[in-house]
Amino acid sequence: MTFPEVTFVGPSVDDPELMVKLPAALGDFLRETNGLVAGAGAFHLRGASQEPTWHSLRDAWEGPRSFQALYRAVHAEDVPFAEEALGDQFLLREGVVYRLDAETGDLVSLNLGFTQFMDAVAADPLGALNLAPLRRFRSEGGSLQPGQLLSAYPPFCTKESGAGVSLGAIDTFDRRAFLAHFAQQVAGVPDGGTSAYADEDLKGMVYKRLID
């Protein structure tokens, strides 16, 4: 499979201990290409490498910055193998790919295996990924560098986003931290509920769910 606009290819595998833990299809792929950033930042497949840390699958899977530490819905066995431009995550759970909405913490099965999912991304990225915000950002002269994600404010899961959002390139870890913090604060807020966030600039926003 081939991917358009590849801006980063991972270094050689230097985390062999991690490789033995991976599902077979993912491990086989990483032996050939140890992760990449494609679509000019639209899709990031992590690799079995220690550096750079934003690309490290181990860093995303284990430890204080792991998604299991940041989101209640993510289990220790879930493999956070990839992400899209806005920071939504793709996890492997018992051979099936799930999508984590990073704003809300909602986890939904895509009913695809790893190879099926990767084929879908390569063949139809518009259908497999949320590309509209990145396309708008690029049309306005913006670009995502490897190690960056796309920031959107106000968050898409708020009513206020209907009036438009501001987009910008931001450090991957800063974006992940904001999304996880935001998801923790909207946990338990009903659809249409008014937030009571600790952050002054987020108070009063009306929450709306993106996933039925």
CATH of the domain at 97: 3.40.1580
Same domain, 119 and 140: no
Does residue 208 sit within a domain? Answer: no
Strand partners, 109: 98
Q: Are residues 67 and 85 in the same domain?
A: yes
pTM of the model: 0.90
Residues 93, 119, single domain; the answer is yes
Contact indicator for 42, 131 with CB cutoff of 8 Å: yes
Q: Looking at the structure, tell me whether residues 148 and 108 fall in a common domain.
A: no
- Asked if 152 and 111 sit in the same domain, the reply is no
Across the range 49-66, mean pLDDT stands at 96
In DSSP notation, 76-142 reads: TT-EEEEEETTS-EEEEETTEEEEE-TTT--EEE----HHHHHHHHHH-HHHHS--HHHHHHHHTT-
19 within a domain of the structure (yes/no): yes
What is the pLDDT averaged over residues 48-61? 97
Quote the pLDDT of residue 146.
97
Residue finishing a domain among 69, 99, 126: 126
Per-residue DSSP letter, 145: P
pLDDT at residue number 158: 81
Q: How many domains does the chain have?
A: 2
Q: Are residues 86 and 177 in the same domain?
A: no
- Same structural domain, 96 and 191: no
Which pLDDT score, from 0 to 100, does residue 211 have?
Answer: 34
Task: Give the tens place of pLDDT for each residue, 140-189.
Answer: 999 999 999 999 998 888 888 888 889 999 999 999 999 998 888 877 76
The yes-or-no verdict on residue 194 having pLDDT over 90 is: no
Same domain, 13 and 112: yes
Q: If pLDDT is split at 50, 70 and 90, which confidence band does 212 have?
A: very low
Select the more confidently predicted residue: 104 or 148.
148
Q: Which domain holds residue 159?
A: 133-202
Which pLDDT band holds residue 209 (cuts at 50, 70, 90)?
very low
